Structure 1
């Protein structure tokens, strides 16, 4: 029995590690394709991009882990069924349920580890990832000298490059305007070609110019007020100009500014935020009547009214007034209604925004548990499917696993959006995918345990052939 358990574990661990690596790699490539324009050409150090990729990989675990569990279990049991090893296990008197015990134990450990990862490590990874991505996307472009554009990226200079080589290093028809303290263009340098490179540590950008001329306008004398009395021109075969790159280094934003987001909180912080926010919302609702009471004035009475004339309820009050009093009463009533409407609108908008924020944080708290549950449910689907289809490798198992994972992802996404919109309760919306897929997993487990021919196309062909023969005989 222990040898069989060891065989199953060895058959599962290798496909799980391979599929997890492949899925993480695919998701990382999607991230790079999405943000390639924000990362490439900005002069980032290689370790900055590597750090961003590492944090992104950590944030992708919530999607990669359930898919890897589903795909690896289908591959494991499909390969065992294809090689008739499941038949040998059943011939030894061991049922499929008993053969699934070590796998259930491993997946349960993975589910517990996924919960602790999402509660402790994922908030930190999200904080590092989103703060670094925010700083990287707002970073100034390192394409400092675009073609046919007057670039003012460097303080005190305006530079125009007519054409560049595809590598971006060799430049042609360069014009450099240098400004003085009065921000006037008193020095102009023009060159036919040049090369561009960075110094060690990306401290300076060096332009090495060739075959050019410089024009410098300066004052004629010490007491001259006109700065354009003297023109100096000199030609050069080769010269260099340095530009400071300190303004283009990646500046980091304080991470504390991102800690209030729901993705950066653990379960304890999320629950505390939801409880405190619900109390604040309830207190604000209880204050609504007190805030509206001053705007509602049915009658203005003295402290001790001498005598109040009784007016029957079925009698029109306005008819007992003069025309001027009627106009005044209607104007006052209209003004009070507008005041009440404005107060109610502001209070309603604030209540809707606070309620949406509470639902978002509550759904994030439920995500901590749904990740673990998804691993178990997708295992209950993948293991019996592999035993039924009896196909290993990366062919049919990949297609089936992708289909079921898409079903899970689409349902969970719809449920999450419905929760945030306030259309369904938080628990039901976040667990709807688990509620839908769990019966399917139990049904497939039952079919696999009873040696069902659920995906045997020959049995369906025989059934339909018999059905049509009976229909033709009638």
Structure 2
């Protein structure tokens, strides 16, 4: 048995390495073709370009290893069955499951290693790649500008709209610049042509503009403006920088740049957001219901529950006769909501506490809902408020699903290695004469179907139609059941 195990593993080693390296190179070349335009002409050192593709490699490896497992298993078992070696093994009384056992063990080990890789190495490489690409995008801004588009050069302060761009000469034509850096007035510049260049030190950006007009509009007087024509104008933007900068501390991490622990924290924040919105909605509903049952509108913004206030000041009849006399002398309007809802003797005060669902002073969510209820006057106001609560709850739930999808994906794709061993071995034994066509055809169909399942599942989870657990693990379950069924059929036919 040990000889058979070593023989099976040795046969799979070379095809697996060949398939993994070949697929990685192909996908890496695809990345090169997509990012070539963003990298060329930036004046980057060759080491920076190499660094971009080094950081792109872990993401590609995370996808190609399961593919390589399927290709290697299909190729080896198709060859074994074509040479009647599988038939000889079966004739010796060794079942197909025993032949597949070493591969399944290796697939489990590989899946565990890939899960660790996806949780530790991959998030860091994705983050460094994003930071590097962001820094490259800021270098030589003419290569980052788009024709006939309003380009943001400085966030919320400076925008450039070029009609034409000559990347080689860093020239722009029919350009409009919207300058909001001066808080007192806005500048709009129109120029027939111009150039963009950094100073020799590489920190300040200059626009050399020709044949244009500048309009200056004071922000305090929007209907007044000055118009200045010019033949040549030089616009300086300080501290732009032409050097490659990498802000790894200030960069915000996306979901694919986090490990499982960080994504669980983000998902928990989404759950708290949804829970707070749900609690506010319930408190708001009880508050406006109690207000409607009083059969009158609130007199002031700070007097939501006159009944509770009247109970603290005197008999209920006096409070109804004079709503303004319900507040004790020295009581501030801002503290009225807390006093009304807090615990204490009196039926009205108890009902106010019941409206929040607590026996003590309300939390911030309850106070926010009570504050919104004071602004309630029409059904339209209530409908808008309930819609805002529903949107916040939906946003929180989608945030939860977004991060849990990525958490499950870190284990789903590695687990595909085990599933592909089952599928590849049983299909290759079932069709021994397929050859290379079988390997290529089955691989493409399996890869395509598997990733379609993942994409559809992720979309359904984002729409809250399916839980992230089932959305991400459904492909493995479906393909695994197919592989087990094919294995059972093969064993049954052999007997």
Quickly name the TM-score band, shorter chain normalised.
0.5 to 0.7
User: Do structure 1's residue 257 and structure 2's residue 251 form an aligned pair?
Assistant: yes
User: Do structure 1's residue 69 and structure 2's residue 69 form an aligned pair?
Assistant: yes
Is the contact between residue 255 and residue 263 of structure 2 (CA under 8 Å) also seen in structure 1? yes
Q: Render the CA deviation track for 1:113-156: whole Å, top value 9, x for unaligned.
A: 11111111111122112222233334324635058954422255
Is the contact between residue 208 and residue 232 of structure 2 (CA under 8 Å) also seen in structure 1? no
Distance, in Å, in 2 between the alignment partners of 1:59 and 1:4 is 35
Does the residue aligned with 1:61 lie in a helix, a strand or coil? helix
Q: Give the number of aligned pairs.
A: 349
Trace 1:383-394 onto structure 2 (pairs within 5 A): 383-391=425-433, 394=436
Which residue of structure 2 lines up, in the alignment, with residue 278 of structure 1?
271
Cα 1:333–1:39 change in 2 (3 A) is: closer
Distance, in Å, in 2 between the alignment partners of 1:333 and 1:271 is 37
Does the residue aligned with 1:100 lie in a helix, a strand or coil? helix
Distance, in Å, in 1 between the alignment partners of 2:130 and 2:286 is 46
Distance, in Å, in 2 between the alignment partners of 1:264 and 1:359 is 16
Cα 1:345–1:138 change in 2 (3 A) is: farther
Distance, in Å, in 1 between the alignment partners of 2:245 and 2:319 is 76
Cα 1:42–1:6 change in 2 (3 A) is: same
Cα 1:89–1:151 change in 2 (3 A) is: farther
Deviation, structure 1 residue 411: 1.0
Long gaps (5+) in structure 2: 144-166, 174-192, 198-204, 211-229, 235-239, 297-305, 311-315, 321-373
Long gaps (5+) in structure 1: 161-182, 188-245, 309-331, 453-474
Deviation, structure 1 residue 382: 0.7
Which residue of structure 1 lines up, in the alignment, with residue 169 of structure 2?
145
Q: Render the CA deviation track for 1:50-99: whole Å, top value 9, x for unaligned.
A: 11111112112332121111111101111111222222322333221111
Does the residue aligned with 1:250 lie in a helix, a strand or coil? coil
Cα 1:292–1:247 change in 2 (3 A) is: same
Distance, in Å, in 1 between the alignment partners of 2:409 and 2:420 is 16
Distance, in Å, in 2 between the alignment partners of 1:438 and 1:412 is 15
Is the contact between residue 79 and residue 392 of structure 1 (CA under 8 Å) also seen in structure 2? no
Distance, in Å, in 2 between the alignment partners of 1:157 and 1:338 is 52
Does the residue aligned with 2:384 lie in a helix, a strand or coil? helix
Cα 1:444–1:156 change in 2 (3 A) is: closer
Distance, in Å, in 2 between the alignment partners of 1:5 and 1:400 is 25
Which residue of structure 2 lines up, in the alignment, with residue 348 of structure 1?
390
Distance, in Å, in 2 between the alignment partners of 1:451 and 1:51 is 53
Is the contact between residue 9 and residue 102 of structure 2 (CA under 8 Å) also seen in structure 1? yes
Is the contact between residue 74 and residue 425 of structure 2 (CA under 8 Å) also seen in structure 1? yes
TM-score using structure 2 length: 0.64
Cα 1:391–1:141 change in 2 (3 A) is: farther
Distance, in Å, in 1 between the alignment partners of 2:267 and 2:375 is 40
State the structure with bigger RCO (CA 8 A, min sep 6), 1 or 2.
1
Deviation, structure 1 residue 292: 5.2
Distance, in Å, in 2 between the alignment partners of 1:392 and 1:54 is 37
Distance, in Å, in 2 between the alignment partners of 1:186 and 1:372 is 59
Q: Render the CA deviation track for 1:236-295: whole Å, top value 9, x for unaligned.
A: xxxxxxxxxx94332223344223x22122222222332343234323321233345555
Is the contact between residue 274 and residue 395 of structure 2 (CA under 8 Å) also seen in structure 1? no
Which residue of structure 1 lines up, in the alignment, with residue 116 of structure 2?
116
Cα 1:395–1:186 change in 2 (3 A) is: closer
Which residue of structure 2 lines up, in the alignment, with residue 42 of structure 1?
42
Cα 1:138–1:392 change in 2 (3 A) is: farther
Does the residue aligned with 2:469 lie in a helix, a strand or coil? helix
Which residue of structure 1 lines up, in the alignment, with residue 454 of structure 2?
412
1:369 alignment partner, one of 408, 411, 414: 411
Is the contact between residue 81 and residue 390 of structure 1 (CA under 8 Å) also seen in structure 2? yes
Trace 1:394-405 onto structure 2 (pairs within 5 A): 394-405=436-447
Trace 1:21-420 onto structure 2 (pairs within 5 A): 21-139=21-139, 140-141=141-142, 143-145=167-169, 150-154=193-197, 158=208, 185=232, 247-259=241-253, 261-291=254-284, 295=288, 297-298=291-292, 299-300=295-296, 303=310, 304-305=316-317, 335-391=377-433, 394-420=436-462
Cα 1:255–1:290 change in 2 (3 A) is: same
Deviation, structure 1 residue 20: 0.7
Q: Render the CA deviation track for 1:142-183: whole Å, top value 9, x for unaligned.
A: 6350589544222557499xxxxxxxxxxxxxxxxxxxxxx9
Distance, in Å, in 2 between the alignment partners of 1:141 and 1:250 is 15
Cα 1:443–1:289 change in 2 (3 A) is: closer
User: Do structure 1's residue 428 and structure 2's residue 470 form an aligned pair?
Assistant: yes
Does the residue aligned with 1:152 lie in a helix, a strand or coil? strand
Distance, in Å, in 1 between the alignment partners of 2:420 and 2:61 is 15
TM-score using structure 1 length: 0.67
Q: What root-mean-square deviation, in Å, do the aligned CA atoms of Structure 1 and Structure 2 show?
A: 3.1
Q: Render the CA deviation track for 1:327-362: whole Å, top value 9, x for unaligned.
A: xxxxx9994323222322222222221211111001
Distance, in Å, in 2 between the alignment partners of 1:284 and 1:92 is 67
Distance, in Å, in 2 between the alignment partners of 1:433 and 1:446 is 20
Distance, in Å, in 2 between the alignment partners of 1:276 and 1:50 is 38
